[in-house]
Amino acid sequence: METDNTKKFTELFSGFEDFNEEDQKQKIIEINRVINEMNKEEFKSVFTVEMFNKMNKMIEEKKLTINKAFLLLKYIASRKALKMFWNGDFSYSGLSKNFEKLIIEEDMKKEGKNEKLFIDLCECYLSLSCFFPTELLHICVFSLLKVALKKEETEEAQKEVEMALLTLSDVSEYCEMTKDKYLNETKEIILYHQERHNLTRLAYQCTWMFMIRRIFLDRSLEEVVVNELHFSREARRELEELSKCIDWKREKEEEEGEREVKEEIVLLRWLQSLETFFESFEVWNDEFVELIRCVTQIFQSAKDNYREISGQCTHLLNKVVDNGSVNIYGLLKGKTIEIFLEEIQLQTLNDKMSNECFAYFLAISLRLKGKEYDKMKEAKRKITKRKVFEKIEEEGYEDCIISFCEAIPFFSSKYYYELSKNISDYFVNV
């Protein structure tokens, strides 16, 4: 169904080839504004194979310069990445095939290689594609890593580095390559930023996302990420800084409008990359306690007016407690239990939040009833169980669970968490 945004886009793009270069530049600015307002369905409905084919024809007929096309394509790509919109139409278009050909031609040149054209081609091709030949993937990834290593702090250089890292973070998990091809470069980017703060917040988050996604292909990276590069310390610091930039007290009615600031988007991306990490990590250190505390504080700040952020926090915290490598005593110090106990007793609590809270306490109870994965000594385990029990007893958790007993099957059927119907599972037997 056509909306105001899709109608505006169609009107702006339909006669694009009839404008001169200067007017095209202005139209691209207007198109970018419309793209910024699009939701997922609108985005998918306009960026079709037909649209990309039309752009390719305009380039071939010299009615659109390739540099002007890059301006539009990079904005489409960045919006797709930031909002995590899925759209694979570019891969089936003639424009994709044309870019593949141009990338190979430029890469094979011994002399006279146009580096800027080559990098722009690589960024647009990788960031818009949903699949790519291995050879092309390697060519583009290595080229973009060189761009990401730039140390200049000019606004233009920062934009180039940011776009390169945004693209790399999205394709990291698809690229099978040995550590010697990327690890030293990525460590250099992170360590240099820790010392000089030369990257934008988005670029820094993308660097970490690139590394986190690589862990699934190479488990040995986990030790480097956790203990050498101090991922949890850096993630906490970034989340705290981003949190200061957000107006948590905004009026509720603003929530339905597509009002966004970059800090909110980057914070959400951090939470999503943390969820990816906590799904399967095996290396624990005490820095994670403060990170968990920070995520809990963000949940508390966001729960009234930022449902997407608060929902991501609860989902992440459930991933944390599900992971047997996480120290339960560390969770106690992270203050999540107290905050969730407060939330679960609110009359205004929605179904999804209730489900997430119950799932959290169920996971803690089941872990404390069984053996800890980190081989916690029995005496220490009993002390921890006693502390958890005292906390939930103080807050009237038992009464709360009993009052919700009939609702638990409803939560189980409506959401993907499989909550237990056995009420005793929600208590820690000391």
Query: CA 181 to CA 186: how far, in whole Å?
Result: 10
Residue type at 58 in one-letter notation: M
Confidence grade of residue 258 (pLDDT, cut at 50, 70, 90): very low
| Domains of the chain, residue spans | 1-131
Which pLDDT score, from 0 to 100, does residue 246 have?
93
pLDDT of residue 182 exceeding 80, the answer is yes
Q: Name residue, tokens 């679960």.
A: 344
Distance of CA 6 to the CA centre of its chain: 26
The answer to whether 106 touches 121, Cβ cutoff 8 Å, is yes
pTM, two decimals, is 0.87
Q: What pLDDT, on a 0 to 100 scale, did the predictor assign at position 75?
A: 92
pLDDT value, residue 347: 60
Contact assessment for residue 282 and residue 264, using Cβ atoms and an 8 Å cutoff: no
Residue 302 pLDDT: 93
The average pLDDT across 192-200 equals 93
Determine what percent of the chain is predicted with pLDDT higher than 90.
47
Determine what percent of the chain is predicted with pLDDT higher than 70.
92
Residues 206-246 pLDDT 10s? 999 999 999 888 888 999 999 999 999 999 999 999 999 99
Condensed to tens digits (0 to 9), the pLDDT of residues 269-302 reads 999 999 989 887 888 888 888 999 999 999 999 9
